[in-house]
Amino acid sequence: MKKKLVMIGNGMAGVSFVEQLLKLNPNRYEIVIIGSEPHPNYNRIMLSSVLAGDASMKDIILNDWNWYRDNGIQLLTGQEAVSVDAEERTVTTNAGVTLAYDELVFATGSVPFMLPLPGADKEGVIAFRDIKDCETMMETSKNYRKAIVIGGGLLGLEAARGLINLNMEVAVVHINKNLMNLQLDETASRMLKAELESQGMRFLMEHKSARITGKERVTGLTFEDGTHEAADLIVMAVGIRPNARLAKESGLEVNRGIVVDDHLQASIPNIHAVGECAEHRGLTYGLVAPLYEQGAVLAKKLAGVDSGGYHGTVLSTKLKVSGVNVFSAGRYTDEPGTKALRVQDDLDGVYKKVVFENGKIIGTVLFGDTSDSSRLFSLIRSGQDFTGKEKEVLFGPSGGGGSKTLSMEDLVTAMSGDEIVCGCNGVTKDTLVEAITEKGCVSLGELKACTKASAGCGGCKPLVEAILTTTLGADQVTKVKEGICGCTTMSRDEVVNAIQQMRLTTTKEVMHVLEWHNPEGCSKCRPALNYYLGMAFPEEHGDEPESRFVNERNHANIQKDGTFSVVPRIYGGVTTPEDLKRIAIVAEKYQVPLVKFTGGQRIDLLGVKKEDLPGMWKDLDMPSGYAYGKSLRTVKTCVGNTFCRFGTQDAIKMGIDLEKKFERLDTPHKVKLAVSGCPRNCAEATIKDLGVVAIDGGWELYMAGNGGTRVRAADLLVKVKTEEEVLEWTGAYLQYYRETANYLERTSEWAVRVGLDTVKKALEKKEDRDALNARIDKTLDLMQDPWKQIIENDDLRVAFDALTAKGAVNPEAAAANESK
Ligand SMILES: Cc1cc2nc3c(=O)[nH]c(=O)nc-3n(C[C@H](O)[C@H](O)[C@H](O)COP(=O)(O)OP(=O)(O)OC[C@H]3O[C@@H](n4cnc5c(N)ncnc54)[C@H](O)[C@@H]3O)c2cc1C
Ligand code: SF4
């Protein structure tokens, strides 16, 4: 007869343990699982992706209802185990069901720690732990605007990013002076903060919360220093506590968590604990990798298979925020007896720190470039001695890069079969090798679909690829092109071709016809599709504001304090006393805290409240400067021959003509132009997307320059004689960029990718330039000033009313990865 196994908790650790037990000994137990949440087992880690709009609830189910049925498991969902009689060996649920057991497993996870602040029980104060919390945030964002996240750790930042994507204004309150202070050192924290600020996140660092205000519903948070921040929603992400209350009441030994030995045995015979609720050698864990390792050990024990026991886990963390690469593992702080190797590149925003103790790597922090994460993490776990050759870990034997001390392939060979490769989904090397050798997986995509490896945070992708190559041989691996996002395997060109050939005109239609895996799309594909559709069919495609980035939806740039910046169009950087007077009056009327000249010769009114935007635009009576858009930003000019004695051409007129012609154009990324009146180049035209430099008897046009993070000097595109030719070449060049670049690709990246000669060749024939210009003119004819449209349209203006977040925005479709 089968023995009875009852498990309390239907979460990631517990179900992973059951999966492994079934593999080892499928017939030994009659299994009953009690789960208080009304769902089958889902990937809690991916809640951040759901909130950010990158995955749907459906995507995160790990074991569907059929899995329980097919494996003969009785699942009691929506029921809570409320008492355990260890002598009688029974468990009773709140529904009055009593179950007898031979073996009992506690897999009750953790409960979020809620700060015991006065007012913490008000409506709108929640944690971020389960599907219910996620749904509450999504619902709240439909009717409210301001959110506070208390806690600047991994969970808090992921919650904040998700809420921004839901079009909420978010302030992150953190008690420490460094973000993610449990995972990052000061330098990485500083870089992370700067990056997140540029994405619209606002921080109140070293703030101690004192009181939550409001009657029934929260209205704000008051700090110990007396300052106050308004809020319609407060998310507490300040830590977790092992859920061990029932265990304690049942007579088990409990410290912080349920005390277990190396075989996950609790203090009473036949009772075990696994996951976040367990305390092993004085430690409790809050990440999944150790929980899967624990599950594997417990499965062996209950299946009657020998195991070496569980000996603790080296932890690693990866932040799941689009556009931010952060990784940390092991002991990364400087302590007596440790030495650190550091590489810091502020230009590219890259920071790497590797900490050694007695020649062995004990920890690492990576920011900006995390491509070394799998390799370094494996080296930490392998305990390899690098005495005397520490620098090779980052720079290779020659000190100048090249092959590092241990290649990924060496690491794969050295790994044991039961070592976990994908921490998020608990996938071991053996599982991957089996999928390759026995199930015929020959590509990363197939491995991902078959095993779920790399489907979580994606940090293990390089290691999974290395296992594939090592097992199969590089020549047998099918290189599957990456889709434009996780919703499709289709490349940008395939998607655009399909749009054109099938005459698709809405994002919904594209997703449906091209069989998107996620029918709602994600924050990567929605804005990209909206752009491609507008580029392909400017007349037929109606712009979809809900698919645009938050700044583009608001037609203003959100600042780190949650206010906005307003930049009116000033053609060629040339203004008039009347315009200046009007700007000054508006700045005074709306009490603009800062008026600043920008690098592109415009005037920036900073610190504007969202509800003041339409009124301000009306009073300014100037077109939008599109300082927030993937569009033509500015045409910078020097004074040219109008005033300068060196000038050979009228740079001001040329600049104004260019700006008037191409303003409002939707482009894959922002586009900056400049015109200099002579080769002295005072307008810095040779670091612009398109630069025009006057020479004797004509103009030189330069392409694909960039003055941003990755500085790139522009390349000469062509020399022309007349102003008309400048406009003609510019139009053709911009349209060719619009038609062939990936969404969010600057001209400097695009031209290098497709080849500078390809661009030149595409534009060299007059008839090709004419055709490109005909297409761009068609688009330009349709463009209207968005500020004017909002001023004149009551329905559009509603989205800017104070305390009304309803209207033009569909939060489900909010866009992540806001790029400056
Ligand atoms: C938003 C978010 C993002 C995260 N991101 C990461 C990440 O990037 N990387 C990482 O490694 N980890 C991450 N984590 C942590 C990870 O999800 C947890 O470590 C993991 O889910 C813990 O698994 P568990 O089975 O121990 O607990 P849980 O998954 O919490 O499962 C416990 C289950 O037991 C149920 N239960 C409790 N008491 C009872 C009872 N008396 N009766 C019946 N049922 C009961 C609970 O309702 C729950 O469903 C994240 C967590 C969250 C919330
Ligand atoms: S670029 Fe030439 S024309 Fe323009 S301001 Fe400088 S020196 Fe004068």
pLDDT of 310-334, one tens digit each?
998 877 777 767 667 788 998 888 8
Distances (CA, A) of 245 to 115, 298, 341: 18, 22, 44
Distances (CA, A) of 110 to 106, 113, 237: 11, 9, 13
Q: Whose CA is nearest to atom 5 of ligand 1?
A: 45
> Is 14 touching ligand 1 by the criterion CB < 6 Å?
yes
Q: Determine the pLDDT at residue 46.
A: 87
Pocket test residue of 12, 248, 325 for ligand 1, highest count of atoms within 8 A of CB: 12
> Is 109 touching ligand 1 by the criterion CB < 6 Å?
yes
The CA distance from 106 to 759, in Å, is 63
Q: Determine the pLDDT at residue 308.
A: 86
Q: Whose CA is nearest to atom 11 of ligand 1?
A: 287
Residue type for 708, please? G
CA of 411 to the centre of ligand 1 (A): 31
| Average confidence (pLDDT) over 738-761 | 93
Atom of ligand 1 nearest to the CA of 16: 25
Q: CB–CB of 444/450 below 8 Å? A: no
pLDDT of 475-501, one tens digit each?
766 666 667 887 888 889 999 999 999
Q: Is the pLDDT of residue 99 over 50?
A: yes
Q: CB–CB of 501/535 below 8 Å? A: no
Question: Could you give the percent of the chain with pLDDT greater than 70?
Answer: 94
CA of 514 to the centre of ligand 1 (A): 35
CB atoms within 10 A of CB 782: 11
Residue type for 540, please? E
pLDDT of 156-191, one tens digit each?
999 998 998 888 889 999 999 999 988 899 999 999
From the CA of 137, which ligand is nearest?
A: 1
Pairing of strands 671-676, 690-695: parallel
Distances (CA, A) of 255 to 128, 234, 279: 24, 30, 8
pLDDT of 101-125, one tens digit each?
999 999 999 999 999 999 999 999 9
> Is 10 touching ligand 1 by the criterion CB < 6 Å?
yes
Q: Tokens 């909010």 identify what position? A: 814
Q: Determine the pLDDT at residue 481.
A: 62
pLDDT of 119-160, one tens digit each?
999 999 999 999 999 999 999 998 898 999 999 999 999 999
Q: Which residues contact 619 (CB under 8 A, 6 or more apart)?
A: 582, 585, 586, 589
Q: Is the pLDDT of residue 818 over 50?
A: no
Q: Determine the pLDDT at residue 166.
A: 85
* Residue 592: exposure state from Cβ atoms within 10 A (0-12, 13-18, ≥19): buried
From the CA of 275, which ligand is nearest?
A: 1
> Is 678 touching ligand 2 by the criterion CB < 6 Å?
yes
CA of 460 to the centre of ligand 1 (A): 21
Q: Whose CA is nearest to atom 2 of ligand 1?
A: 45
Of residues 407 and 294, the one with the higher pLDDT is: 294
Of residues 512 and 419, the one with the higher pLDDT is: 512
Q: CB–CB of 268/404 below 8 Å? A: no
Q: Is the pLDDT of residue 677 over 90?
A: yes
Q: Determine the pLDDT at residue 472.
A: 82
Q: Determine the pLDDT at residue 398.
A: 52
Of residues 721 and 50, the one with the higher pLDDT is: 721
pLDDT of 217-226, one tens digit each?
999 999 999 9
Q: Determine the pLDDT at residue 578.
A: 95
Question: Could you give the percent of the chain with pLDDT greater than 90?
Answer: 65
Q: CB–CB of 386/393 below 8 Å? A: yes
> Is 644 touching ligand 2 by the criterion CB < 6 Å?
yes
Q: Determine the pLDDT at residue 807.
A: 35
| Average confidence (pLDDT) over 56-76 | 90
Pairing of strands 74-77, 29-35: parallel
The CA distance from 15 to 42, in Å, is 10
- DSSP-derived letter for residue 342 is E
Q: Determine the pLDDT at residue 812.
A: 30
The CA distance from 59 to 518, in Å, is 8
Q: CB–CB of 764/719 below 8 Å? A: no
Cross-strand pairs, 444: none
Q: CB–CB of 180/152 below 8 Å? A: yes
From the CA of 52, which ligand is nearest?
A: 1
CA of 581 to the centre of ligand 2 (A): 28
